[in-house]
């Protein structure tokens, strides 16, 4: 009985120690992570290959804090919002290409928040005849968050690509509306 209790105590101690190391490492990793707009491993987007990627510079899973509407800057115009959606869409494409599906969550979440915020810009920047469609398309972009997040979290690359492609079509339609507006 004493040996069994000693073994359980030892296991619990090791587990507690390992957890504290993991939490400390996660906190340090997120504090050291470069802002999203900065270069990645010394390269700008599109100038590197898969060999440049390593675990140390990436937050995986949903370990980082959830982003809020306050974390997502409101664009100055509807057109600027569409441009930002395109940038975030390209980041997701990059993550998919490099099999970093666990990192899709945060970018897709930012897209959803941005799309919801853009509805107020549509009321100001989009012609009256197209406002309803702009709002509907913004809602559509926001609604892609759940399916792309679930597919990416499950490691289903083909499903993630399929949702990503649907997003591209919707963003292109938003872009067309932005260009039609005065």
Write out the DSSP string of the chain: -HHHHHHHHHHHHHHHHHHHHHHHHHHHHHHHPPPTTS-BTTB-TTS--GGG--GGG---TT-SPPP-GGGSPPPSSHHHHHHHHHHHHHHHHHHHHTT-GGGHHHHHHHHHHHHHHHHHHHHHHS-HHHHHHHHHHHHHHHHTHHHHHHHHHTT-HHHHHHHHHHHHHHHHHHHHHHHH--
Residue 43 phi, psi (nearest 5): -120, 145
- pLDDT confidence bin for 74, thresholds 50/70/90: confident
- CA-nearest of 113, 105, 28 to 62 is 105
Quick one: pLDDT at residue 117? 92
Contact 125, 77 (CB under 8 A): yes
Q: What's the rounded mean pLDDT across residues 17-35?
A: 40
Quick one: pLDDT at residue 72? 87
Quick one: pLDDT at residue 88? 96
Taking only the tens place, the pLDDT of each residue in 88-120 is 999 999 999 999 999 999 999 999 999 999 999
Quote the mean pLDDT of the chain. 75
End-to-end CA distance of the chain: 81
Measured distance CA(166)–CA(163) in Å, rounded? 5
Residue 182 pLDDT > 70: no
Quick one: pLDDT at residue 26? 38
Quick one: pLDDT at residue 63? 47
Read off the tokens for 14. Answer: 């090791």
Measured distance CA(78)–CA(142) in Å, rounded? 15
Residue in the block written with tokens 């938003």: 174
- pLDDT confidence bin for 3, thresholds 50/70/90: low
Contact 141, 175 (CB under 8 A): no
Quick one: pLDDT at residue 160? 97
- What pTM was estimated for this model as a whole? 0.65
Top pLDDT among 35 and 65 is at 65
Read off the tokens for 118. Answer: 């853009």
Point out the least confidently predicted range of 1-15, 31-45, 97-111, 148-162. Answer: 31-45
């Amino acid at each position: 009985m004493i040996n069994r209790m000693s073994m359980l105590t030892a296991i619990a101690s090791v587990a507690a120690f390992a957890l504290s190391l993991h939490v400390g490492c996660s906190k340090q990793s997120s504090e050291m992570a470069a802002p999203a707009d900065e270069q990645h491993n010394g390269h700008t987007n599109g100038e590197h290959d898969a060999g440049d990627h390593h675990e140390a510079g990436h937050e995986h899973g949903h370990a980082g804090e959830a982003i809020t509407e306050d974390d997502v800057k409101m664009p100055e115009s509807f057109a600027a919002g569409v441009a930002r959606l395109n940038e975030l869409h390209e980041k997701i494409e990059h993550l998919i290409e490099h099999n970093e599906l666990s990192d899709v969550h945060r970018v897709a979440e930012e897209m959803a928040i941005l799309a919801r915020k853009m509805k107020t810009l549509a009321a100001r920047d989009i012609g009256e005849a197209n406002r309803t469609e702009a709002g509907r398309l913004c809602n559509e972009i926001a609604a892609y968050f759940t399916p792309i997040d679930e597919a990416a979290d499950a490691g289903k690359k083909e499903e993630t690509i399929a949702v990503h492609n649907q997003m591209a079509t919707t963003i292109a339609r938003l872009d067309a509306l932005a260009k039609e507006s005065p």
